[in-house]
Amino acid sequence: MEIRIAGVVPESIVDGDGIRYAIFMQGCLRHCEGCHNPATHPLDGGKIVDTSELISAIKRNPLLAGITLTGGEPLLQIPPALELAKATKNLGLNVWCYTGYTLEEIPPAAHELLNFIDVLVDGPFILAQRDLELDFRGSRNQRIIDLNEWRRNNG
């Protein structure tokens, strides 16, 4: 399956807990003031790759704790994001996802994908709430949500 990406960081330690294969998905409609990835905004930017290439790279690295879907906005490419998340879970690894949506705003089309995400970092980046002391997020409004716990509590 094809996916449009801005790029990858094969061994990131800033895009979630542990060593992560960070996939920067191309395309975002929010254009948050102060965004640190503005090159990911154009929907026709980046490059098209096959998800099987990314999955192969993930399989080759025994140090990975999991993948991080980030961007851009991962929820603009739900089918390939779902394929990557399922493959990652099948490898026994975890999945983090950054989205400009809040959990409550996530469109129904993305609900299946949520079943394969362990940690969701939600909410738009708000420059006025920027805080460089926060772990794994850029502004105080953004939440780090353990979706496994959320599913247990909201069954």
Tell me the per-residue pLDDT of 85-102, one tens digit each, with 9 for 90 and over.
Answer: 999 999 999 999 999 999
**Predicted local confidence at residue 16, as pLDDT:** 97
**Predicted local confidence at residue 58, as pLDDT:** 98
pLDDT at 153 over 80: yes
Q: How far lies 140's CA from each of 38, 61, 97, 125, 133, in Å? A: 20, 33, 17, 9, 10
Residue 67: strand pairing partners: 21, 95
The tokens for 135 are 């772990």
The percent of residues in the chain predicted with pLDDT above 90, rounded, is 98
> By the 8 A CB rule, do 124 and 143 touch?
no
- Residue 138 CA neighbour count, 13 Å, CB half: 16
Tens digit of each residue's pLDDT (9 = 90 or more) over 16-62: 999 999 999 999 999 999 998 999 999 999 999 999 999 999 999 99
> By the 8 A CB rule, do 19 and 63 touch?
yes
**Predicted local confidence at residue 36, as pLDDT:** 87
Average pLDDT, the chain: 96
Number of independent structural domains in the chain: 1
Q: Is 94 helix (H, G, I), strand (E, B) or coil?
A: strand
- CATH assignment of the domain containing 126: 3.20.20.70
Query: Domain span at residue 105?
Result: 2-154
